[in-house]
């Protein structure tokens, strides 16, 4: 089935796919779109798993399906993980970095595609303009794409394992793939849904760190845990984004995601290769985290005061893209300004693409 026909009614539960919550209704082309077809009652044609219409529409449908702007946040997670564990360049680092970032990106894309496959019936009711309910991409094509991307991610990690002479990259990738499928198919509607989503992002960071030549230390687990807690909070914040949210839920979720940022306050003390500036003046790191946390918290506070879908969705989008800034800040601790700018540069295509394709 490639479009919404007679779909049994199910209860609504706002939640997101792997790597970040979705924002229903944020597609500017959603107005007037029927889940069953057009005004004449005809169903949307499905063009080889592509889109209705020309090549540009097919491309856009695919970009929407994989949440293309968010792919750069997955790259930032794994790229930061690699750069943090490789403060000094060695021959072969370029290939290992490329493979691990590509693997994490493929796994992220697989997660959001399979999320839409599992949620097809619910999306027909709540998000009829999405690529699958609207018939722009068939469910069968999306299913093949999702499982294929999952396999590609694991294979790329296996190649990285070979180059790094370590089984850790492929072990992390397989574990991450299993958690992605578990979240999409079983966990997202349960109380452990937000922590499971956070675990996916934690795994993404560890995938970038998996080519390290030394065993993981306390600072590595601290970073992964901080990112995981932050994303858990964002997921909880967005859980009822399709309707008016509870102020208590939004407030508590905000505290959780800010706790993830606060956890990073200990990072310069733990890191083995902290840049001299932060060793001499550690207060600079605290000020940076407070500024970042303040900006994110302010956006979330606006949604707490006005908990309608529009404000909540805007806050979620802000939190998702702020993850790139957080990754860049973490990278700065050991790489200095150069490494931080490499990660921060990923925000540019994410924001530009986000003007054309919705990201959540």
CA 187 to chain centre: 17
d(CA 65, CA 50): 11
Residue 25, pLDDT > 50, answer: no
Q: pLDDT (tens digit, 9 = 90+) per residue, 120-139? A: 888 888 788 888 998 899 99
Q: pLDDT (tens digit, 9 = 90+) per residue, 47-66? A: 343 334 477 788 899 999 99
Q: pLDDT (tens digit, 9 = 90+) per residue, 58-92? A: 889 999 999 999 999 999 999 999 999 998 878 88
Q: What is the predicted pLDDT for the residue at 57? A: 84
| Helices (runs of H) and strands (runs of E) counted in the chain | 14, 0
Q: What is the predicted pLDDT for the residue at 128? A: 86
Q: What is the predicted pLDDT for the residue at 5? A: 58
Q: pLDDT (tens digit, 9 = 90+) per residue, 222-254? A: 999 999 999 999 999 988 776 777 899 999 999
Q: pLDDT (tens digit, 9 = 90+) per residue, 303-322? A: 999 888 888 889 999 999 99
Mean pLDDT of the chain: 85
Residue 325, pLDDT > 90, answer: yes
Question: Across residues 137-153, what is the average pLDDT?
Answer: 96
Residue 40, pLDDT > 80, answer: no
Task: Output DSSP code: residue 248.
Answer: H
Of the two residues 131 and 258, the one the predictor is more confident about is 258
d(CA 360, CA 69): 9
DSSP result, 43-103: PPP--TTS-SSSHHHHHHHHHHHTTHHHHHHHHHHHHHHHHHH-SS--TTHHHHHHHHHHH
d(CA 106, CA 172): 14
Of the two residues 305 and 36, the one the predictor is more confident about is 305
d(CA 112, CA 188): 12
d(CA 113, CA 62): 10
Q: What is the predicted pLDDT for the residue at 273? A: 79
Q: How confident is the model at residue 100 (pLDDT cuts 50, 70, 90)?
A: very high
Q: How confident is the model at residue 3 (pLDDT cuts 50, 70, 90)?
A: low
Which residues are CB-neighbours of 296 under 8 A, at least 6 positions away? 257, 258, 261, 318, 319, 322
Residue 42, pLDDT > 90, answer: no
pTM above 0.75, yes or no: yes
d(CA 193, CA 202): 14
Percent of the chain whose pLDDT exceeds 90 = 62
What is the CATH code for 55-354? 1.10.357.140
């Amino acid at each position: 089935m490639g479009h919404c026909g007679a779909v049994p009614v199910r209860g609504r539960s706002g939640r997101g796919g792997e790597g970040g919550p979705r924002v229903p209704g944020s597609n500017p082309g959603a107005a007037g779109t029927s889940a069953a077809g057009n005004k004449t009652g005809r169903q949307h044609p499905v063009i080889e798993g592509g889109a209705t219409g020309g090549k540009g529409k097919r491309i856009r449908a695919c970009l929407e399906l994989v949440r293309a702007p968010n792919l750069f946040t997955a790259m930032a997670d794994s790229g930061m993980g690699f750069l943090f564990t490789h403060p000094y360049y060695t021959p072969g680092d370029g290939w290992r970095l490329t493979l691990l970032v590509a693997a994490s990106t493929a796994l992220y894309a697989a997660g959001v595609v399979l999320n839409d496959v599992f949620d097809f019936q619910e999306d027909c009711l709540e998000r009829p303009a999405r690529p699958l309910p609207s018939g722009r991409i068939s469910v069968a094509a999306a299913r093949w794409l999702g499982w294929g991307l999952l396999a590609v991610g694991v294979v790329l990690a296996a190649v990285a394992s070979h180059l790094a002479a370590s089984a850790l990259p492929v072990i992390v990738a397989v574990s991450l793939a299993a958690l992605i499928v578990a979240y999409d198919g079983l966990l997202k509607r349960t109380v452990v849904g937000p922590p499971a989503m956070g675990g996916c992002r934690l795994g993404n960071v560890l995938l970038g760190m998996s080519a390290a030549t030394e065993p993981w230390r306390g600072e590595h687990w601290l970073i992964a845990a901080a990112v995981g807690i932050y994303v858990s909070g964002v997921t909880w914040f967005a859980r009822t984004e399709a309707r008016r949210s509870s102020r208590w839920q939004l407030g508590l979720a905000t505290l959780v995601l800010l706790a993830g940022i606060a956890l990073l306050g200990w990072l310069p003390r733990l890191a083995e290769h902290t840049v001299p500036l932060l060793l001499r003046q550690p207060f600079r790191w605290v000020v940076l985290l407070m500024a970042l946390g303040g900006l994110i918290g302010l956006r979330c506070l606006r949604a707490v005061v006005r908990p309608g879908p529009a404000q909540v969705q805007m806050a979620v989008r802000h939190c998702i893209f702020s993850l790139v800034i957080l990754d860049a800040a973490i990278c700065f601790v050991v790489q200095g300004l150069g490494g931080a700018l490499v990660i921060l540069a990923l925000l540019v295509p994410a924001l530009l693409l986000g003007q054309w394709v919705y990201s959540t």
